[in-house]
Amino acid sequence: MPLSGAARLFWGLAGLSLVLYLLRGFNVLALPGAWFMGLGLVTFFVGLLALGVSIRRRY
């Protein structure tokens, strides 16, 4: 199943946020927690949007 552009963007953002979170866990990056919450929320809503768009295209 080929991924659409929105799905690719979502998984890219999810992977990026996971990598940043792991780096923060190892204290490589000392980024504030609020920034991560914001990134997580944005990723979540972009994922919902991508899911909605892909479902609407299919049906």
For the range 31-37, what are the long-range contacts, defined as Cβ-Cβ under 8 Å and sequence gap of 24 or more? none
24 falls in which pLDDT band (50, 70, 90)? low
The owner of tokens 């949007």 is 49
pLDDT tens digits, 30-49: 556 666 667 777 778 887 88
Which residue range is the domain that position 31 belongs to? 5-58
Please state the domain count of the chain.
1
Average pLDDT in the 19-35 region?
A: 63
pLDDT for res 41: 75
